[in-house]
Amino acid sequence: MHRFDEEEKKLAASIIEYAIDRIATESVPLDGPKSSKELAALYGANISEDGIGGEEALRRFAQGYAPATLTSDNPRSWAFVPVAPTKAATLFDLVVSASCISGTTWIEGAGAIYLENEALSWLASLAGLPSGAGGTFVSGGSAGNLAGMVAGRERARRLGTLNGKGAVMASADAHSSVTMAARITDVDVVLAKGDAKGKLTGAALKETFVSLDHDDQKRMFAVFATAGVTNTGIVDDLASVAEFCKDHGLWMHVDAAYGGAGLSTPTVRNLFNGIEFANSLVIDPHKWLFAPFDCAAIIYADPADGARAMTQEASYLDDVNKDRDWNPASFAYHLTRRVRGLPFWFSLATYGVRAYREAIEQTLRIAEFCASEIRTRPYLELAIEPELSVVVFRRSGWRDQDYVAWCDKLLEDQIAFVQPTTYQGERLMRFCFVNPLTSKFDVTEVLDTMAPAQL
């Protein structure tokens, strides 16, 4: 099991061949879920006293279970927030697995952590954060938002500005993980009304804040703004949010888990003005920055804020905690950590920033193309003008069940994977584009299936 003998050599060849095949195929079938009953019927139990052997386990995975697993990087996967890893990022993910690096503390993972930090610095510089900004890569935007919540509250406690149970302000369109982070940390979320597009603004925050009684105002320690709302792609008015936070001594957290990629392109960069004042910032390279799952950055303007809140104290860690060169364990709730930022770093180093910018621009162009197609089709209507790469629209005459049936049929026919959403109380269609391989033809072919004559 732990020796690389003849059997493992053979298995290595099969696995590498499978992986390369998967990586080399540009349009892997979408595939789709099966029920657990159907899956159980495939091969019965896979785990047995004597083992079934690697070749057989691989065969079962490739032929039975992988086809029951949606291909998130298919160019027609537009539900939720999909993923589109670069080839270099995916290939290097194999290297990360093979290298068995602990990215927990500097003493264990110095070289790899140094490189992850280079990628973090690039993200921080896109946002215009101070030069010392830093943090770590966590499993996802949810973990990043939790880290921002904990660090913001800890600072308020340290400064003595928090009285009683903590509270934060956010818009109703903030990601559900903000509410979850608040639940975990026993913090209240006060919703401030967004503008017509749902954007959180300084004025809305002020209106909500002054409506609170004095005691509740004293419980407020942070604002959670969103740069790229998951549902609509809308970016909050970060400049006025920053001003509000400054005026009230509040921690500013920006959840750019999905939208942060837009920072790198001149086309939409101005939407993010004010992000440079964030105390904590989340950007997920596994969303629109072409990294494989799971890779999200939590970056603190002053990393000491993160470390004060997150460093675990234990006798066996005393010495590494003294070595403060850069322990990723100090910047989120975790200890053991895969160096999940390395595939992202490798890809950035391989292709360069220009290639990233161009690939992101391409997805923005596809979103704009999709929006323009919707404008020209009488049976479709945009629900909101897109700002980034999310397009939300209605099909005239359709009700909830029509959207669901259409989505199911598209997947059944292996045409696309899409999911409806609800926006301002209305059931609608939502596409999220993050894959530069998505073509205009892909978009028109899918929209064509919504035409009345097709139904």
Ligand X SMILES: Cc1ncc(COP(=O)(O)O)c(C=O)c1O
Give the binding site for ligand X (CB under 6 A).
Answer: 81, 140-142, 175, 177, 226, 228, 230, 255, 257-258, 284, 296
CB of 259 to ligand X, least distance (A): 7
* Spatial distance between the Cα atoms of 151 and 172, rounded to a whole number of angstroms: 22
β-sheet bridge partners, residue 168: 189, 222
Minimum CB distance to ligand X smaller for 104 or for 142:
142
The set of long-range contacts for 31-36, using a CB threshold of 8 Å and a minimum separation of 24, is 31/66, 31/67, 31/68, 31/69, 31/70, 31/71, 31/414, 32/68, 32/70, 32/411, 32/412, 32/414, 32/417, 33/68, 33/69, 33/70, 34/68
Phi, psi angle pair for 176, to nearest 5°: -60, -25
- Tell me the two tokens of residue 38: 């159907």
CB of 140 to ligand X, least distance (A): 3
Minimum CB distance to ligand X smaller for 220 or for 432:
432
- Tell me the two tokens of residue 11: 């298995």
Could you tell me if 193 and 242 are in contact, meaning their C-beta atoms sit under 8 angstroms apart?
A: no
Minimum CB distance to ligand X smaller for 289 or for 447:
289
Minimum CB distance to ligand X smaller for 198 or for 380:
198
* Spatial distance between the Cα atoms of 455 and 410, rounded to a whole number of angstroms: 13
Minimum CB distance to ligand X smaller for 333 or for 379:
333
Minimum CB distance to ligand X smaller for 105 or for 136:
136
The H or E element containing residue 381 is strand 380-382
CB of 375 to ligand X, least distance (A): 25
CB of 255 to ligand X, least distance (A): 5
CA-wise closest residue to 362 among 292, 450, 264? 264
CB of 216 to ligand X, least distance (A): 26
Minimum CB distance to ligand X smaller for 105 or for 171:
171
Could you tell me if 349 and 359 are in contact, meaning their C-beta atoms sit under 8 angstroms apart?
A: no
CB of 139 to ligand X, least distance (A): 7
**What is the edge-to-edge ordering of all strands in the sheet holding 188-192?**
134-138, 296-300, 280-283, 251-255, 220-226, 167-171, 188-192
Minimum CB distance to ligand X smaller for 234 or for 443:
234
CB of 34 to ligand X, least distance (A): 23
CB of 378 to ligand X, least distance (A): 32
Q: HSE of 135 in the Cβ direction (CA atoms, 13 Å)?
A: 34
Place of tokens 């093979």: 98
